[in-house]
Amino acid sequence: MLYPQTNSYRSVLSLPGLWQFSLDIDERGEEKRWFEGLPSSRPIGVPGSWNEQYEDTMFHNGSAWYQTDFYVPAEWRSRTVRMRFGAAGYYCSVWLDGTPLGNHEGNSLPFEFDLSRRVKPGRKHRLVVKINNQLGPESIPPGGMEHVSEKGAAPNFMNEAISNFASVLPEIQMLPLLLETRRQYPNVPFDFLPFAGIHRPVKLYATAKDHLERFLVRSEIKRSKATVVCDVEAIGRATSVKGTLQRGNKTFATEAALDDGRATLKFSVPRPDLWHPSSPHLYQLSLSLLKGTKVIDEYHTEIGIRSIQVTDTEILLNGEPIYLNGACKHEDFPIIGKGLCEPAIVKDFSLMKWMGANSFRTSHYPYAEEQLMLADRMGFLVIDEMPTVGLGYGMYTDSILEKCKGILTELVERDCNHPSVIMWSIANEPDPFTESAGDFFGKLRSHAKQLDPSRPVTIASVHSPADYTFDVVDVICVNRYYGWYTQPGRLDVAANKLSDELDQIHQKHRKPIIVSEFGADSIAGLHSDPPEVFTEEYQAALLRAYIEVIRSKEFTAGEHIWNLADFKTPQNYTRTVFNRKGLFTRDRRPKLAAHVVRQIWQAGQFAKSEK
Ligand code: GCB
C-alpha cells in the first residue's frame, strides 16, 4: 500500500474538515440504520481523536459514528479509486452510500478500500464510519479486562502479573502496588490514554487500472560502492518498469521487464552519500511503469543509503559505532490527542534537535508516516514499535500470535523504505517470565527477520535479568525506574542498582544494551533543594545520574529518556491527569531537565557522546 501522492499519473483528494459525529450511547446505531445517515449529530474535526473535542467524549468507551459527503472529480471516471484511512480505531466499520465497504481493527496503521465500482463523478457520496474503542483481551493492545474477568472468560491478568512480579522480584515492593493501582479508568494495562477516532487523514486516490502497487528498497554497501535494490510489484498488464535515482547532479537509471507483475531494479552507486543523523542525505527515487513504450504510472519518493549492523557491544551505522541519544514520545497533543497535526510534529522534531537528540522510539505503537518522513529528512534514528504493549498473562496463544504477525507485516510493509527506521521493536514490556513468552516472541522475531532480514529486532523490557525475551532480541532494550518507582529520593542507590544490573545483563547475554526508558515525573514549577521527587530539580538530577552510568559502560548503545513531553493517561492515583515525566510540558514548554539534558547532549559530556 503506497502512501498516496499526486503526480502526472495519480491524484489524491483528502477529506479533512468538519465531519458529523454522534455518540452511540446505547449501542443501537446499527439497528437504527445510522449507516444510511446520522439522524442527529454535532461537528467534529477530522483528523483528530474524539476524546478532547467535547467534555462528554473524553472517556467515552463504546461506539461513535462519523459522517461526511464528498464528490469525486470528473477525470476519475474509469480509474482505480481507493479510499485510504491513515489510522482510525480501535474497531472501524465503513459504509458508502448505505452499503458496507469493510472493517478494520487497530489504531495505528493504514487500511484502504477499493471504490472503483462504487463512485461516480457527478454524484454526491455519503461516507459513514462507526468506531468502537472497547479494547478486550484479544485486542492489540489489550484492555477492558475488568469487564472480561467478571464474565470469567479470561484470567485476570493483573493478578497474575502481580504474583509474577512478587515471585521474581520480591525486593520490588512497589510494583505489585503499582499494578494494583493500574486498575484504572479506562481499564487498560498501559499508561497512556487509548485515544479513539479518525486520527489520521482519510484520502481518496486515483491511479490507472494498471499501476504500481508496492516496492521495497534495500541497499548493500561494499567498500565505496552501494547497490540499491528495488523490488517492484505492479497490478495489471504493464510490461516494464524504469527507475531513476538522483541526488544533486548525479542520476542513475535502470530498467527491468516485469514478470508476472514483478521486477527488480538494481542501481550501482559509486561513492554514495550515505544517510546518517548528522548528514541525512536522501536520494530521489522515481519509478515509471510502462506498457510497451508508454508510461502509465509513476511514483516518486526519497530513500537513503545506509547499513545497520549489531555486534555484541555496539550498533554500527555504515560500519561505524553509533550511540542513540534521545527521548521516547507519544502521539499526544492537547485537543487533537493522537490526531495528525504536522505543525505539532515539526515542533517536536525541532525540540529534539534543539536538545541534540539523534533518535527516538515510537513508543508504544506505529506513529504517523509523516513522522518517519520527517525523521528521514531531519536525521533521526527510529526504533519502530508495534502496538504490542501490555501483552502476556494468558495472551500467548496461537490466534494472538497470528494477529501480531499480521500487524508486523503491515508495519514492515509501510515503513521499510525509511532509512530512519533502524530497528523493529516487537513489544513493550510484555510479561517475560514464562517460556511461552520466549516462544511467542521468538516466533514473532523470526517473522520480522523473514519480512526484513536487514534490521535488528528488539523488545523494550521492564523486568529483571530473568527475562526470557532477552534471548530473542538482537539489541536489549531495558526500561528502568530505580530512583522513582523504587528507591525514591535515593539517586546514589538507584545509580548503583542500574549499574550492577546492566553489567549482569550484558555478562549473561553479550548483546548491546539501550536503556530505552528512564525518568521521573516533575510538575512544572515545583522546586526543592535538596531535590525531592516530583520537583524539576529531582527529575534533572535523576536523568543526569542515569546518563552518567549508562555512558560509563562499553556495551551500552543508547539512552532514551521517558518522555519527550508530559502526556495524558488513564485516571489513577499515581497520575495527576498526565504522566509528567516529560522534558517538556504537554504544551511543549521546557522544564529544567530539558536544559540540563541539552547541556549534556550538546556539550558531549561523558565519554559516549563523542562516538
Ligand atoms: C513504563 C512504560 C511507559 C510508562 C512509564 C511510566 O515502563 O513503558 O508506558 O508510561 O513506564 O512512566 O511509568
Task: Confirm if 76 and 45 have CB atoms less than 8 A apart.
Answer: no
Report residue 394's pLDDT band, with 50, 70 and 90 as the boundaries.
Answer: confident
Kindly calculate the radius of gyration of the chain based on its CA atoms and give it in whole angstroms: 25
User: Is any ligand 1 atom within 6 A of the Cβ of residue 475?
Assistant: no
Best probe residue, ligand 1, of 330, 363, 425, 517 (max atoms within 8 Å of C-beta): 517
Cα 174 from chain centroid? 29
Distance 579 CA to ligand 1 centre (A): 9
Beta-carbon contacts of 343 under 8 Å, excluding residues fewer than 6 positions away, are none
Which atom from ligand 1 is nearest to the alpha carbon of 569?
A: 10
Instruction: Name which residue leads in pLDDT, 409 or 157.
Output: 409
Which atom from ligand 1 is nearest to the alpha carbon of 364?
A: 9
Residue 470 has φ and ψ, to the nearest 5°, of -60, -30
Q: Is there a catalytic annotation at residue 610?
A: no
What is the rounded (10 degree) CA torsion for 349, 406, 189, 90?
A: 80
Q: What is residue 146's predicted lDDT score, i.e. its pLDDT?
A: 56
DSSP conformation class of 3? P
Q: What is residue 432's predicted lDDT score, i.e. its pLDDT?
A: 78
Task: Confirm if 284 and 246 have CB atoms less than 8 A apart.
Answer: yes
Q: Whose CA is nearest to atom 3 of ligand 1?
A: 191
Distance 518 CA to ligand 1 centre (A): 9
Distance 343 CA to ligand 1 centre (A): 26
Best probe residue, ligand 1, of 331, 479, 480, 515 (max atoms within 8 Å of C-beta): 479
Residue 310 has φ and ψ, to the nearest 5°, of -135, 135
Q: Is the pLDDT of residue 3 over 80?
A: yes
Q: Is residue 416 packed enough to be buried (19+ CB in 10 Å), middle (13-18) or exposed (0-12)? A: middle
Instruction: Name which residue leads in pLDDT, 95 or 181.
Output: 95
Q: Is the pLDDT of residue 156 over 90?
A: no
> Which run of H or E residues covers position 384?
strand 381-385
Distance 363 CA to ligand 1 centre (A): 10
User: Is any ligand 1 atom within 6 A of the Cβ of residue 462?
Assistant: yes
Q: Is there a catalytic annotation at residue 429?
A: yes
> Which run of H or E residues covers position 509?
helix 491-509
User: What 3-state class would DSSP assign to 440?
Assistant: helix
Among 580, 548, 576, smallest CA distance to 563 is for 580
User: Is any ligand 1 atom within 6 A of the Cβ of residue 517?
Assistant: yes
Q: What is the mean pLDDT of the chain?
A: 92
Mean per-residue pLDDT, 135-157: 64
User: What 3-state class would DSSP assign to 412?
Assistant: helix
How far is it between the farthest Cα atoms of the chain? 76
Overall residue count recorded for the chain in this entry: 611
The active-site residue out of 112, 302, 331, 429 is 429
Query: For the segment 411-437, what is each residue's pLDDT rounded down to a tens digit?
Result: 999 999 999 999 999 999 988 777 788
Q: Is the pLDDT of residue 154 over 50?
A: no
Which atom from ligand 1 is nearest to the alpha carbon of 567?
A: 10
Among 458, 463, 516, smallest CA distance to 329 is for 516
* Cα(28)–Cα(552) distance, integer angstroms: 60
Report residue 175's pLDDT band, with 50, 70 and 90 as the boundaries.
Answer: very low
Q: What is residue 524's predicted lDDT score, i.e. its pLDDT?
A: 98
Mean per-residue pLDDT, 581-592: 98
Task: Confirm if 536 and 522 have CB atoms less than 8 A apart.
Answer: yes
* Cα(445)–Cα(468) distance, integer angstroms: 13
User: What 3-state class would DSSP assign to 161?
Assistant: helix
Q: What is residue 469's predicted lDDT score, i.e. its pLDDT?
A: 84
Q: Which three cell numbers stand for residue 115?
A: 471504490
Mean per-residue pLDDT, 299-325: 97
* Cα(561)–Cα(582) distance, integer angstroms: 9
Q: Whose CA is nearest to atom 5 of ligand 1?
A: 191
Q: What is residue 65's predicted lDDT score, i.e. its pLDDT?
A: 98
User: Is any ligand 1 atom within 6 A of the Cβ of residue 53?
Assistant: no
Q: What is residue 353's predicted lDDT score, i.e. its pLDDT?
A: 97
Mean per-residue pLDDT, 164-185: 51
Task: Confirm if 302 and 283 have CB atoms less than 8 A apart.
Answer: yes
Residue 342 has φ and ψ, to the nearest 5°, of -60, -45
Among 363, 379, 215, smallest CA distance to 289 is for 215
Give the E-state strand segments of 407-531 in sequence order. 421-428, 457-461, 475-479, 513-517
Beta-carbon contacts of 198 under 8 Å, excluding residues fewer than 6 positions away, are 19, 46, 47, 48, 66, 85, 88, 129, 131
End-to-end CA distance of the chain: 38
Query: For the segment 431-490, what is each residue's pLDDT rounded down to a tens digit?
Result: 877 778 889 999 999 999 999 999 999 999 987 666 788 999 999 999 999 999 999 999
Report residue 181's pLDDT band, with 50, 70 and 90 as the boundaries.
Answer: very low
Q: What is residue 463's predicted lDDT score, i.e. its pLDDT?
A: 72
DSSP structure string for 213-256: EEEEEEEEEETTEEEEEEEEEEESS--EEEEEEEETTEEEEEEE
* Cα(550)–Cα(375) distance, integer angstroms: 25
Task: Confirm if 360 and 329 have CB atoms less than 8 A apart.
Answer: yes
Distance 166 CA to ligand 1 centre (A): 19
Best probe residue, ligand 1, of 191, 459, 560 (max atoms within 8 Å of C-beta): 191
Distance 362 CA to ligand 1 centre (A): 13
* Cα(448)–Cα(457) distance, integer angstroms: 7
Q: What is residue 435's predicted lDDT score, i.e. its pLDDT?
A: 78
User: Is any ligand 1 atom within 6 A of the Cβ of residue 522?
Assistant: no
Q: Is the pLDDT of residue 182 over 80?
A: no
Beta-carbon contacts of 264 under 8 Å, excluding residues fewer than 6 positions away, are 229, 230, 231, 232, 256
The active-site residue out of 52, 517, 536, 559 is 517
Count of C-beta atoms within a 10 Å radius of residue 402: 12
User: Is any ligand 1 atom within 6 A of the Cβ of residue 191?
Assistant: yes
What is the rounded (10 degree) CA torsion for 372, 378, 382, 386?
A: -20
> Which run of H or E residues covers position 284?
strand 283-291
Mean per-residue pLDDT, 287-303: 98
Q: Is the pLDDT of residue 174 over 90?
A: no
Distance 190 CA to ligand 1 centre (A): 8
Residue with cell 479470561: 154
Q: Whose CA is nearest to atom 13 of ligand 1?
A: 191
Beta-carbon contacts of 397 under 8 Å, excluding residues fewer than 6 positions away, are none
Best probe residue, ligand 1, of 386, 461, 467, 562 (max atoms within 8 Å of C-beta): 562
Task: Confirm if 583 and 327 have CB atoms less than 8 A apart.
Answer: yes
Distance 191 CA to ligand 1 centre (A): 6
Taking the model in full, what pTM does it have?
0.94
User: Is any ligand 1 atom within 6 A of the Cβ of residue 410?
Assistant: no
Distance 186 CA to ligand 1 centre (A): 16
Give the E-state strand segments of 562-609 in sequence order. 567-568, 578-579
User: Is any ligand 1 atom within 6 A of the Cβ of residue 521?
Assistant: no
Q: What is residue 172's predicted lDDT score, i.e. its pLDDT?
A: 44
Mean per-residue pLDDT, 345-370: 98
Among 357, 400, 329, 336, smallest CA distance to 139 is for 400
Q: Which three cell numbers stand for residue 135?
A: 479494547
User: Is any ligand 1 atom within 6 A of the Cβ of residue 428?
Assistant: yes
Which atom from ligand 1 is nearest to the alpha carbon of 579?
A: 12
Query: For the segment 215-257, what is each residue's pLDDT rounded down to a tens digit?
Result: 999 999 998 999 999 999 999 999 999 999 999 999 999 999 9
Where b means 16+ CB within 10 Å and e means fewer, 559-572 reads bbbbbbbbbbbbee
